[in-house]
Structure 1
């Protein structure tokens, strides 16, 4: 073995010895003089909580109906723009009135003829009755005259009924708005041939106020009935599809008569002011109903909660200022706070900021919030 080799081996041995001593010093420092973790701590409080129960919901008009053609013919005039607001009784569509005007005139003429014939046979009957008193005519002739009067009276009634039908058809050739509301996009255009009772012209619905319907579990029915009974419009709100809260509060207007036996839910309807038409029929929303607790509940900042493998946890602070890992059960979320149903009690100290940097048993340098 050469001298250089001996020197190299001695150098390796001294380096290993130095590293071993250095590691021993680190382990000793870790055990004896632990570095304190800087954290912010707050005290757990109890308070009366107003949270929100949320339900899938959808917008429905308080009134909505299909506008169908009531007589057959060609569309000759459309008197409303697509999507326009219309007033009750406003003209919307006209179906070719020519044939229906002619039918009215014909029916009037038939009434006049029937009434004229009735007058004639009535006068004949009166003459025959006078002659019969002096036995100047056969009784059979008088009977025939009376029958003619009855038959002609029926003809007058039939002619008047036909006139009423003709007038009704003429009236129905113009489609009027059955109530004030907003129409959709027209399903027909000028010149289209429509069939009575089959052709859909448009749909009209009310827009202000408007309704939002949702299903509640049967265990929450009492709460819903109390809200309806109190007539309050506070604590009833909806979240829009974009996540914003609709600015108008609602009011429980209708609670369905029976619970669905297959789902154990009850349909509920709330009404909302909708002057700017932001709520549209068919829109999917989230109904939010305020629910105030009867007793004080444990509440902590939401940012103190650590979510791990589907469980919720927090770090509490021991009397010796060390971190203690706690699993908790969460309840209602309240903006930046959350109710804790189990795992904490009032006056416990919990880590709010810095919890993700500590571990069980770490020494803490505490800043109170």
Structure 2
């Protein structure tokens, strides 16, 4: 009777043990997450062009402050503020009465000096004729020659004075030194101005116009080697991005490179020239210069949305064996619109996961839904 009871207990224990193992295995199957649906891109190499952007300031190629070269009162203003002016166009006049009177007096003094010269010349000729006949003392001849020389010097001085006063009279009318746009007048009619002190206005040339950028010393050779024929229509090597985000329609070219690097900032100023036929660019405008870069060979390119950033490091998930996600650390290069160059960490054969990365972890099961590469749709 005792043996029979023991067998029943063992049998029941085995039965419950087998039932427990089955429940545990079923729970594990229920807890295992299903494969995550993902989209993948086949990394590929291609010749990639990308753009750097540097802040720039629009600068006039020529700009001058107009200052008077004579003193007086403004008697005329002959332009419209903010409009274009032509070289030689009359801009201002300063009261000319005093300078005209000075010129008239200088001319009169010149005429008097010339009359004295004529008289001294005749006296000298007469005394020389008498001296040849021994009819006059030699001292009188010498005095006549000295008077003649003095009269000649007085004429020369009077002529110089006429030129000086004429210059002042000419400076009383101010003309535009070159074609450009004139600003707001700093003086009004009747304003008293001082020689070389008062700023009347400012004129700046505007076609072509310049954009100044500060280039890091490591990039200097890039600009010195830039082809001189850049800037033609259709060229996109140097472009301007305007403050509203739009792209300026005309390309630029390298115009001037400063003589030395700034030792405090380690940068060099480079001046770019841009056509400005519509005068849309104004001096002082803050813009960005977009500089196209051509990579030296085919680069490995992937969609930027595939990149995961963690603690200032960059990773991607790729399709591994047994349809599982494998995390790889990568080194990024330049951005190419919605794509990015990968310098290190990926192989050409890697299939990069672009959608569903937020739900992934290293080794997680995946299910590929869509595939493609950086140029066209292609099955894996």
2:124 counterpart of 1:125 = yes
- Which range moved further: 253-262 or 105-114? 253-262
Task: Give 1:308's aligned residue.
Answer: 310
Deviations 1:293-333 (A, max 9, x none): 11111111122222333222222111222222222221111
Contact 2:319/2:326 (<8 A) preserved? yes
Task: Give the distance between the partners of 1:313 and 1:124, measured in 2 at CA.
Answer: 108
- Which range moved further: 285-294 or 259-268? 259-268
Deviations 1:1-29 (A, max 9, x none): xxxxxxxxxxxxxxxxxxxxx99965542
Task: Give 1:13's aligned residue.
Answer: none
Task: Give 2:154's aligned residue.
Answer: 155
Task: Give 2:284's aligned residue.
Answer: 282
Partner of residue 333 from structure 1, selected from 332, 335, 345: 335
Deviations 1:69-114 (A, max 9, x none): 1110011111111111000000111111111111111111111111
The alignment of Structure 1 onto Structure 2 pairs a total of residues equal to 347
3-state SS in 2 of match to 1:359: coil
3-state SS in 2 of match to 1:163: helix
Task: Give 1:67's aligned residue.
Answer: 66
Task: Give 1:93's aligned residue.
Answer: 92
Q: CA deviation at 1:203?
A: 0.9
Contact 1:315/1:355 (<8 A) preserved? yes
Task: Give 2:294's aligned residue.
Answer: 292
Contact 1:228/1:253 (<8 A) preserved? no
Q: How does 1:30-41 map to 2 (within 5 A)?
A: 30-31=31-32, 34-41=33-40
Task: Give the distance between the partners of 2:121 and 2:256, measured in 1 at CA.
Answer: 61
Gapped runs of 5+ residues in structure 1?
1-21
Task: Give 1:273's aligned residue.
Answer: 275
Gapped runs of 5+ residues in structure 2?
1-22, 373-380
2:208 counterpart of 1:209 = yes
Shift of the 193–25 alpha-carbon distance from structure 1 to 2, 3 Å rule, reads farther
2:375 counterpart of 1:368 = no
Contact 2:230/2:252 (<8 A) preserved? no
2:50 counterpart of 1:51 = yes
Deviations 1:13-64 (A, max 9, x none): xxxxxxxxx9996554223xx2121221110111111112332321111111
Q: CA deviation at 1:252?
A: 1.2
Task: Give the distance between the partners of 2:275 and 2:245, measured in 1 at CA.
Answer: 19
Q: CA deviation at 1:189?
A: 1.1
Contact 1:239/1:287 (<8 A) preserved? yes
Task: Give 2:6's aligned residue.
Answer: none
Q: How does 1:137-156 map to 2 (within 5 A)?
A: 137-156=136-155
Task: Give the distance between the partners of 2:27 and 2:283, measured in 1 at CA.
Answer: 70
Contact 2:231/2:251 (<8 A) preserved? no
3-state SS in 2 of match to 1:295: coil
2:321 counterpart of 1:322 = no
Contact 1:66/1:203 (<8 A) preserved? yes
3-state SS in 1 of match to 2:225: helix
Q: How does 1:97-112 map to 2 (within 5 A)?
A: 97-112=96-111
2:199 counterpart of 1:200 = yes
Task: Give 1:175's aligned residue.
Answer: 174
Give runs of ≥4 in structure 1 deviating > 6 Å. 22-25
Q: CA deviation at 1:195?
A: 0.5
Task: Give the distance between the partners of 1:27 and 1:76, measured in 2 at CA.
Answer: 100
TM-score normalised by L of structure 1: 0.88
2:356 counterpart of 1:354 = yes
Q: Kindly report the root-mean-square deviation, in angstroms, between the aligned alpha carbons of the 2 structures.
A: 2.1
Contact 2:228/2:253 (<8 A) preserved? no
- Which range moved further: 244-253 or 107-116? 244-253
- Which range moved further: 179-188 or 270-279? 270-279
